[in-house]
């Protein structure tokens, strides 16, 4: 059961082979056994989870279940979850029990999914290794010395170690795709605006987007079906007709044009990752795709531009508590705002403080034009690079990360090295495009390698289709770590 797909789990639940309570217990027991070593969860609340499972079982018995009814899902601790501790990996929120649900959480509840727990993450989603969490680092289930990636490292470790069938994450500069790559999962960062950010604690509002992390593209499609949708409470949410992301998964790939940006295969890419990505692209050719060379000339400026824009937006959120659109400032949550402001001075960890400093600096008088406006200009150029590239191809492919999972402590003291681990993911956020990572091989120490697929705006269905077809002829996504 722990390796079953969401479809198989749903069939077992509706077929009466097992109940949601049994399934939830199974995962709670694994969490009890394995989480002390992995530290993937910040909060587990068996009572609340089992109560939800009982409700799901009743719904299934009445024949009123949907594809996710009764299935336990772990949520990144960035999503406000009513009645659950919601910390965002920070000491600041270490006693914040959310009085309301994020829209994403609400959608999962409506679908009848069971909240399995809240997963560990870098503080306020700032990090690439999960080492900035106030609750301690997460271990990569594939190798105890390695990081799981970040900031959604807890979600990635939880699914990779089979402590949860699926999980949610958020991605501001790579935080779904990078941990998915380092832990051997499939993870999707949707087009900006496709999934509501209401109740999702802000890092950088113009970049943040929530998405699924799971064992396969098919599972991600089923999760995205529940997560996506217009929300009037998020002013950047887009009103579009609903799509069934699972519908076209099996479409053949004949004639698909895959763009290979030369900047993705240049200096800095480790040979083991390059080898696995090349092999994956060869597999796509076998599936009928054709490859074309494309270029993203401004991509080398993505990391510097991001590390101006993201801290600028974050410092606005954090120092002025400008979180109105997430519901934080709504009058009924005034005490959260008070608590947050009072504990601010001593509450943030070193990385968050660094970001606030950078952000305040680049927004200050005299530096605003030189840094912030310049970064915004670069952002536009990067978006234009993608527009040009998508004239030549349907999807872009390349590595998700320059190396496989690095060791705990390796980059923690060197912010620039840490920031560079997002070199292939960040441009996608700056452009607002969708990006997906799927496992495509094993590199050094047998650690997973991620293939990144970048699509044009709202091409999630096509990206998931491409990932799914690959997963039908390969088995990288079926491998799991021995614990």
Catalytically annotated residues = 76, 151, 175
359 contacts ligand GLN (rule: CB under 6 A): no
Cβ atoms of 144 and 34 closer than 8 Å: no
If one asks whether residue 203 binds ligand GLN (CB under 6 A), the answer comes out as yes
| 430 part of the interface to ligand GLN, by CB under 6 A | no
Which of residues 173 and 327 has its CB atom nearest to ligand GLN in the complex?
173
Q: Which of 126, 183, 289, 305 binds ligand GLN (CB under 6 A)?
A: 126
* Residue 128 within binding range of ligand GLN, rule CB under 6 A: yes
Interacting residue with ligand GLN among 171, 263, 313, 394 (CB under 6 A) = 171
| In the complex, minimum distance from the CB of residue 422 to ligand GLN, in angstroms, rounded to a whole number | 5
* Residue 64: CB minimum distance to ligand GLN, A: 36
Select from 104, 125, 246, 395 the one that contacts ligand GLN (CB under 6 A): 125
- Rounded to whole angstroms, the Cα distance separating 43 from 46 reads 10
Here the tokens at position 77 are 């601790």
Q: Where are the alpha helices (DSSP H) in 393-459?
A: 415-420, 426-431
Query: Between residues 106 and 171, which has the closer beta carbon with respect to ligand GLN?
Result: 171
Residue listed under structure tokens 């240049």: 266
To ligand GLN, the closest distance from the beta carbon of 179 in angstroms equals 9
Query: According to CB under 6 A, which one of 70, 72, 165, 174 is a site residue for ligand GLN?
Result: 174
Closer residue to ligand GLN in complex, CB, 112/127: 127
| Rounded distance between C-alpha atoms, residue 300 and residue 423, angstroms | 8
Q: Is 209 in the site for ligand GLN (CB under 6 A)?
A: no
List, in order, residues 6 or more apart from 481 with CB less than 8 Å away: 141, 142, 143, 160, 161, 184
Minimum gap (Å) between residue 453 Cβ and ligand GLN: 17
Instruction: Give the 3-state secondary structure of residue 91.
Output: helix
Stretch that binds ligand GLN, among 173-181, 241-249, 387-395, 434-442 (CB under 6 A): 173-181
User: Which of 243, 126, 207, 217 has its CA nearest to residue 466?
Assistant: 217
Site for ligand GLN in 133-152 (CB under 6 A): 151
CB 182 within 8 A of CB 145: no
Buried b (16+ CB within 10 A) or exposed e, 219-234: bbbbbbbbbbbebeeb
Residue 223 near ligand GLN by CB under 6 A: no
The residue from 43, 175, 196, 225 that contacts ligand GLN (CB under 6 A) is 175
**Widest pairwise Cα distance in the chain:** 67
Task: Please state the three-class secondary structure of 168-208 as a single string.
Answer: EEEECCCCCHHHHHHHCCEEEECCCCCECCCCECCCCCCCC
Residues in region 300-319 near ligand GLN by CB under 6 A: 310
Q: Are strands 448-455 and 435-442 parallel, antiparallel or unpaired?
A: antiparallel
Radius of gyration of the chain (CA): 21
Q: Does 40 bind ligand GLN (CB under 6 A)?
A: no
Q: Which stretch binds ligand GLN (CB under 6 A): 66-74, 165-173, 331-339, 436-444?
A: 165-173
Q: Which is nearer to ligand GLN, 6 or 182 (CB)?
A: 182
Give the helix, strand, coil percentages of the chain, each rounded to 5. 45, 15, 40
- Give the shortest CB-303-to-ligand GLN separation in angstroms: 9
Minimum gap (Å) between residue 121 Cβ and ligand GLN: 8
Q: For residues 179 and 182, give the distance between their C-alpha atoms in angstroms, rounded to a whole number.
A: 5
Q: Which stretch binds ligand GLN (CB under 6 A): 46-54, 59-67, 166-174, 222-230?
A: 166-174
Per CB under 6 A, does 127 bind ligand GLN? yes
**Which residues in this chain contact ligand GLN in the complex, by CB under 6 A?**
125-128, 151, 171-175, 203, 310, 422
């Amino acid at each position: 059961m722990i390796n079953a797909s969401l479809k198989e789990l749903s069939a077992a639940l509706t077929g009466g082979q097992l109940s949601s309570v049994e399934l939830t217990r199974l995962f709670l027991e694994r969490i009890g056994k394995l989480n002390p070593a992995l530290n993937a969860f910040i909060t587990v609340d068996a009572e609340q989870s089992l109560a939800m499972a009982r409700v799901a079982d009743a719904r299934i018995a009445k024949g009123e279940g949907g594809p996710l009814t009764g299935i336990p899902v772990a949520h990144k601790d960035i999503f406000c979850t009513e009645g659950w501790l919601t910390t965002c990996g920070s000491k600041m929120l270490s006693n914040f029990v959310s009085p309301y649900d994020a829209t994403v959480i609400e959608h999962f509840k409506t679908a009848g999914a069971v909240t399995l727990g809240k997963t560990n993450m870098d503080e306020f989603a700032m990090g690439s290794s999960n080492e900035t969490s106030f609750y301690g680092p997460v271990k990569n289930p594939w190798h105890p010395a390695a990081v799981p990636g970040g900031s959604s490292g807890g979600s990635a470790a939880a699914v990779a170690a089979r402590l949860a069938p699926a999980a949610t994450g958020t991605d501001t500069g790579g935080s779904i795709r990078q941990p998915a790559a380092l832990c051997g999962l499939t993870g999707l960062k949707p087009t900006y605006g496709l999934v509501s950010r209401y109740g999702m604690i802000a890092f950088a509002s113009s970049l943040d987007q929530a998405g699924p992390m799971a064992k396969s593209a098919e599972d991600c499609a089923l999760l995205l079906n529940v997560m996506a949708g217009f929300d009037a409470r998020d002013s950047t949410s887009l009103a579009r007709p609903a799509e069934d992301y699972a519908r076209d998964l099996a479409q053949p790939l004949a004639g698909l044009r895959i763009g290979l940006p030369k900047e993705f295969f240049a200096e800095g890419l480790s040979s083991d990752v390059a080898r696995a990505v090349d092999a994956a692209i060869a597999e796509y050719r076998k599936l009928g795709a054709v490859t074309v060379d494309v270029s993203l000339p401004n991509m080398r400026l993505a990391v510097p531009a991001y590390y101006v824009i993201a801290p600028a937006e974050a410092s606005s959120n954090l120092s002025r508590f400008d979180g109105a659109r997430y519901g934080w400032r709504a009058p009924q949550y005034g005490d959260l705002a008070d608590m947050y402001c009072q504990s601010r001075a001593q509450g943030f960890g070193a990385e968050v403080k660094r970001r606030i400093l950078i952000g305040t600096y680049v927004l200050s008088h005299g530096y605003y034009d030189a840094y912030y406006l310049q970064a915004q200009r670069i952002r536009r150029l990067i978006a234009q690079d993608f527009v040009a590239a998508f004239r030549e191809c349907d999807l872009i492919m390349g590595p998700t990360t320059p190396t496989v999972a690095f060791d705990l402590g390796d980059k923690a003291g060197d912010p620039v090295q840490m920031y560079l681990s997002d070199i292939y993911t960040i441009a996608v956020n700056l452009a607002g495009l969708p990006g997906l990572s799927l496992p495509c091989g094993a590199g050094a120490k047998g650690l997973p390698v991620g293939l990144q697929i970048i699509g044009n705006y709202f091409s999630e269905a096509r990206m998931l289709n491409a990932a799914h077809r690959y997963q039908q002829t390969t088995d990288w996504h079926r491998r799991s770590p021995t614990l």
